[in-house]
Amino acid sequence: MSYETVIGLEVHLQLKTATKAFCGCSTTFGRKPNSQTCPVCLGFPGSMPVLNEEAFLFAVKVALALNCKIQDLIKFDRKNYYYPDLPKNFQISQYDMPLSYSGFLDIFGRDNTKKRIEIKRVHLEEDAGKLIHQGCDNSSLVDFNRSGMPLLEIVTEPDIDSPQDAYAYLIKLKSILEYLKVSDCDMEKGSLRCDANISVRKSGERNLGTKVELKNMNTFKGVRVALEYEVKRQISLVESKENVAQETRLWDAQKEVTISMRSKEEAEDYRYFPEPDLVPFVVDKSVIEKIRQSLPELPEAKSLRLVKEFGISEYDAGVLTSQQELADYFEACAKLYPDRKVIANWMMGDIMSQLNLRNISINELRLFPDGLAGLLKMVDTGIISGKMAKSVLAEAIETGFGPEELVKKKALSQISDAAKIEEIMKVVLEREAKTVKDYKLGKKTAFTFLVGQIMKETKGRANPAIVNELLKKRLEQ
């Protein structure tokens, strides 16, 4: 029996505004607990929320970048529930008239075909406080600095049919969000969080299976592995004719299992009703258009342009535009060096591996575009070999010196002078007289050995093409 998987994702994104969503408290991360609070975000009776304009503009930016329609009349609602980190017993959110709806995001799915993931809605809400379970005597502490921070909820339709595609969607979404510069998108700090809904059904069946909500995945890889686990768990329940319970399950990253947390609430359980302190409002079309015009060139458009303008492959363009800073670096190099495929190869090879090795971003790299262009030009003109260029690149990144400066300083330059090479060759051939004899008797591998000996003698600095040419000439005399 084969099964289909149905996944929907809910991403929560903390917006990088200076102040909270409905009050003037600061949003700076890591301050002393409860030092950034006021009657509004603590939920004192009679305090009145005021919508933060910056948060609203950021939200519209994201909605437009995800191809959503902006609602004509926008309304905030109260989502009622009790939790110790939510002192007013409700969260200001959006229910039936969210900021935006009906968007989409195109991804390259698991079989490398383009897939469109429909986005149901992007809405604005406020974050709750944070419980810290490390008080004395097993008590918990609560920090309200996060209470009232602006959060975007980005919800897909149950449109994703595999954990791999869920992963591809999250990577693409994060890349777009980073381009927009509306959030630091840092999963470790909790500014980007993802929950997933997942169900399975027998292939061809029309009704959806019972869905389970997954929480507590702290990395995108964690989302993928948790979903993979859950697909197996649900299929085995169905196979053994047991019920899949509708519930919320927590991912335990250590044990790599999901654990039942609570039965899942339905929207009705929250008793949504309109937030009486924030009136519904209409946004002028011209304001929306202005925000649309201000959107940066997004990864997909940039990727297409790089392919067209610089002739690099679609794959390379996809990797280079996954981060705006990488694409900027590439374009800066492309202005200084004519062979763009070579630039792409170096960036995706040696430079990326240096970034990974050092766990830094390209902005922190101590090799600037002019340095890389200079290095590539030295290879072209034969001043250094390709192999030498690799070690110069690593040293430039390590020391912060420019590649040209390093080559000059260490007299690293390649020996291309024929007379000098002949001189070294003479010494080597005298020493290796037996190998020369073997070569003349027909042992062709002896040639490679002799080239190797000459390269060794020059510490790898001889121009290999010239060595080959001269050695051939000499042995054939």
Total chain residues near Zn ion (CB under 5 A) = 5
Q: Per CB under 5 A, does 41 bind Zn ion?
A: yes
Minimum CB separation of residue 35 from Zn ion in Å reads: 11
Q: How far is 72 from 277, CA to CA, in rounded Å?
A: 20
Q: Between residues 38 and 332, which has the closer beta carbon with respect to Zn ion?
A: 38
For 364-453, strand residue ranges (E) read none
State which residue, 21 or 185, has the beta carbon closest to Zn ion.
21
Tokens at 420, concatenated: 């000098």
Q: Which of residues 40 and 119 has its CB atom nearest to Zn ion in the complex?
A: 40
CB of 92 to Zn ion, least distance (A): 12
Q: CB-wise, 12 or 88, nearer to Zn ion? A: 88
Structural tokens at position 327: 């694409």
CA distance 15 to 151: 6
**What is the DSSP code (8-state) at residue 351?**
I
Helices (H) and strands (E) in the chain, counts: 16, 16
Q: Which is nearer to Zn ion, 44 or 273 (CB)?
A: 44
Helices (H), 149-219: 163-180
Q: Could you say whether residue 51 binds Zn ion (CB under 5 A)?
A: no
How is residue 144 annotated by DSSP? G
CB of 147 to Zn ion, least distance (A): 8
* Residue with smaller CB distance to Zn ion, 20 or 174: 20
Q: Is 149 in the site for Zn ion (CB under 5 A)?
A: no
Q: Which is nearer to Zn ion, 35 or 361 (CB)?
A: 35
Beta bridge partners of 90: 80
- Comparison of 24 and 135: residue with beta carbon closer to Zn ion: 24
**Mapping DSSP to helix (H, G, I), strand (E, B) and coil, where does residue 107 land?**
strand
CA distance 351 to 370: 14
Q: Which is nearer to Zn ion, 142 or 351 (CB)?
A: 142
Label residues 7-27 b or e (16+ Cβ within 10 Å = b).
Answer: bbbbbbbbbbbebbbbbebeb
CB of 47 to Zn ion, least distance (A): 9
Member of 7, 15, 25, 466 binding Zn ion (CB under 5 A) = 25
Of 10, 48, 43, which Cα lies nearest the Cα of 142? 43
Q: Enumerate residues 157-176 that contact Zn ion by CB under 5 A.
A: none
Reading the block at residue 45, the tokens are: 């009776």
Please state, in angstroms and as integers, the Cα–Cα distance from residue 264 to each residue in 93, 98, 145, 229, following that order.
Answer: 19, 22, 28, 19
Find the part of the chain contacting Zn ion (CB under 5 A) among 32-40, 113-121, 273-281, 362-370. Answer: 32-40
Minimum CB separation of residue 38 from Zn ion in Å reads: 3
Tell the smallest beta-carbon distance from residue 21 to Zn ion (Å). 9
Q: Least distance to Zn ion from the beta carbon of 125, Å?
A: 15
**CB of residue 41 vs Zn ion: minimum separation in angstroms?**
3
Q: For residues 371 and 396, is the Cβ–Cβ distance under 8 A?
A: yes
Quick one: 100 or 145, whose CB is closer to Zn ion? 145
**Selected range binding Zn ion among 37-45, 79-87, 356-364, 385-393, rule: CB under 5 A:** 37-45
Helical packing angle, 418-431 and 433-440, nearest 10°: 90
CB of 146 to Zn ion, least distance (A): 11
* Interface pick for Zn ion out of 9, 11, 21, 23 (rule CB under 5 A): 23
Q: Number of C-alpha atoms within 13 angstroms, CB side, residue 237?
A: 18
Structure tokens at 191: 């500014």
Among positions 245-284, residues that touch Zn ion (CB under 5 A) are: none
> Using the rule CB under 5 A, which residue among 10, 12, 38, 475 binds Zn ion?
38
Alpha carbon dihedral 155, 161, 162, 168, in 10-degree steps, equals -50
Q: Which is nearer to Zn ion, 38 or 97 (CB)?
A: 38
- In angstroms, give the least distance from the CB of 56 to Zn ion: 17
Per DSSP bridges, beta strands 150-156 and 114-126 are antiparallel
Nearer to Zn ion, 149 or 334 (CB): 149
User: Interacting stretch for Zn ion, rule CB under 5 A, among 40-48, 79-87, 230-238, 426-434?
Assistant: 40-48
* Cα-Cα end-to-end distance for the chain: 74
CA–CA separation, 82 vs 326, rounded Å? 45
Using CB under 5 A as the binding rule, the residues of this chain from 291 to 350 that contact Zn ion are none
Q: Are 250 and 215 in contact (CB under 8 A)?
A: yes
Q: Among the candidate windows 15-23, 220-228, 280-288, 330-338, which touches Zn ion by CB under 5 A? A: 15-23
**Least CB distance from residue 37 to Zn ion, whole Å?**
6
Minimal distance, residue 80 CB to Zn ion, in Å: 20
Binding site for Zn ion (CB under 5 A): 23, 25, 38, 40-41
